[in-house]
Amino acid sequence: MIPKKSIVHLPVYQPGKPVEEVKRELGLKEVIKLASNENPFGSSEHAKAAIQNEIANISIYPDGGSVQLTAAVAEYLEVNPNQIIFGAGSDEVILMLARAFLSPGDETIMADETFPQYKHNAEIEGATVIEVPLKEGTHDLPAILSKINERTKIVWICNPNNPSGTIVREDELAAFVREVPKHVLIVLDEAYYEYVTDEAYPNSLALLRDNNNVILLRTFSKIYGLASLRIGYGVGHPDVVRSINQVREPFNTTRFAQAAATASIKDIDFLNSCKERNAEGRIYLTEQFARLGLSHFEAHGNFVMVDVKLPSQQVFDGLLRRGIISRARWTYYPTHIRITVGSQAQNESFIKALEEVLSEAAVLG
Ligand SMILES: *Cc1c(COP(=O)(O)O)cnc(C)c1O
């Protein structure tokens, strides 16, 4: 049996290490996972109650069209229901975009480093991936523009960018969208949208109103704290959404996910409280990095990418031995780690562990 040519070179996704596995391997009682940008404050109580209510219905297929959730999100964003598409995480919306729009011979452009699922899914479809290095951790929009040609189908802009945490500003993005030819779909991945506090962050919904070739991706996995339920969405022109719907599996999101997401989008208090506590944690971490003489990329999401000035694997291992799971090993950033903003107690434990790792390295030379 021979699988299709476009997948034979693909690696299998390596997730952040599960907490239980780390505990067992290292004999640690407490382990803090700051590797996957999950919400340290959990999820909305209304979401949990909505899931309880759904238990009675588990033998019945979910609503494939997510009608109630679509209505709730459409009202929240002030868009039409036919502009919204749900996926099993925004990961699945990325997959469906690639499936609907990319064929062998097509080109697709993205930053390097950025979220790996764009490249992964484009390669499965046999499209040619053009990667444009980040410039000081930020999308290099002029360089991306210069790579666009008649074969280009999708440009991916991750804003804030994962892993660097930087944003593309409103003025830059608006100018970019004006320049991009209309045959190119611009995907704005806003998985961390709700965390951004900087006023220069684009109003992408306004951009969407004036440009049919823009689609936004958002998710319930990050600030809403529903990562395990797998639910995210795209917002775009009805024609684009229709194309994605044509490749969508009939029952791609579950009852639990739909119910929890519907409850979550209405729980503004939980959202605001997480946003505020994250902003405080982000300030705490960046102040501590300054105290330790470490530089970091401007952080706008719920994570910070910091230059630890040592091989990142060494720091990753040192932190792991002290019960902290981080992310490391980026090709272009061999001395950076990415750390999720946790609760204040988690952030303090992380900084303490980091100081120990750095001083241990200094002693060992
Ligand atoms: C986490 C993340 C996603 C997707 O998360 P889902 O759980 O699949 O919704 C998408 N894009 C970026 C940049 C992310 O960091």
Using the atom order of ligand 1, give the atom closest to the CA of residue 227. 7
| Smallest CA separation from ligand 1 atom 9, residue | 89
Residue type, 330: W
| Smallest CA separation from ligand 1 atom 2, residue | 191
Exposure letters 27-57 (e unless 16+ CB within 10 A, then b): ebeebbbbbbbbbbeebbebbeebbeebeee
Distance between CA 150 and CA 359 in Å, rounded?
53
Residue 185: phi and psi, rounded to 5, are -85, 125
Using the atom order of ligand 1, give the atom closest to the CA of residue 160. 13
Q: How far is the CA of 191 from the centre of ligand 1 (A)?
A: 6
In contact, 149 and 119? CB cutoff 8 Å? no
Q: What is the DSSP string of 189-223?
A: E-TTGGG---TTS--HHHHHHH-TTEEEEEESSST
Structure tokens given for 62: 């979910």
Using the atom order of ligand 1, give the atom closest to the CA of residue 221. 7
Please tell me the predicted confidence (pLDDT) of residue 172. Answer: 97
Please tell me the predicted confidence (pLDDT) of residue 12. Answer: 86
| Smallest CA separation from ligand 1 atom 1, residue | 191
Residue 187: phi and psi, rounded to 5, are -95, 120
Predicted confidence (pLDDT) per residue in 30-48, tens digit: 999 999 999 999 999 999 9
Residue of 92, 94, 110, 117 to test ligand 1 pocket, by largest number of atoms within 8 Å of CB: 117
Residue 158: phi and psi, rounded to 5, are -95, 115
Distance between CA 141 and CA 45 in Å, rounded?
41
Q: How far is the CA of 183 from the centre of ligand 1 (A)?
A: 25
Residue 191: phi and psi, rounded to 5, are -60, -25
Residue of 39, 85, 162, 304 to test ligand 1 pocket, by largest number of atoms within 8 Å of CB: 162
Q: In 3D, which of 215, 211, 188 has the Cα closest to residue 201?
A: 188
In contact, 236 and 208? CB cutoff 8 Å? yes
Using the atom order of ligand 1, give the atom closest to the CA of residue 115. 13
Predicted confidence (pLDDT) per residue in 148-183, tens digit: 999 999 999 999 999 999 999 999 999 999 999 999
Q: How far is the CA of 335 from the centre of ligand 1 (A)?
A: 24
Helix (H) or strand (E) holding 260: helix 255-265
In contact, 313 and 262? CB cutoff 8 Å? no
Please tell me the predicted confidence (pLDDT) of residue 365. Answer: 67
Q: DSSP H helical segments within 102-136, as ranges?
A: 117-124
**Ligand 1 interacting residues, C-beta cut-off 6 A:** 37, 89-91, 115, 158, 162, 189, 191, 219, 221-222, 227, 232
Return the CATH class of domain 5-30+269-364.
alpha beta
DSSP classification of residue 301: S
The domain over range 45-266 is classified in CATH as 3.40.50.720: no
Paired with 135 in beta bridges are: 138
pTM over 0.85: yes
Query: Hunting for tokens 């660097």 — which residue is that?
Result: 164
Q: How many CB atoms lie within 10 A of CB 89?
A: 25
Question: Could you give the residue range(s) of every CATH 3.40.640.10 domain in the chain?
Answer: 45-266
Question: Could you give the residue range(s) of every CATH 3.90.1150.10 domain in the chain?
Answer: 5-30+269-364
Using the atom order of ligand 1, give the atom closest to the CA of residue 301. 15
Using the atom order of ligand 1, give the atom closest to the CA of residue 161. 13
Q: How far is the CA of 365 from the centre of ligand 1 (A)?
A: 38
Q: How far is the CA of 89 from the centre of ligand 1 (A)?
A: 7
Q: How far is the CA of 224 from the centre of ligand 1 (A)?
A: 12
pLDDT less than 50: residues of the chain: none
Angle (CA) 346-347-352 rounded to 5° is 100
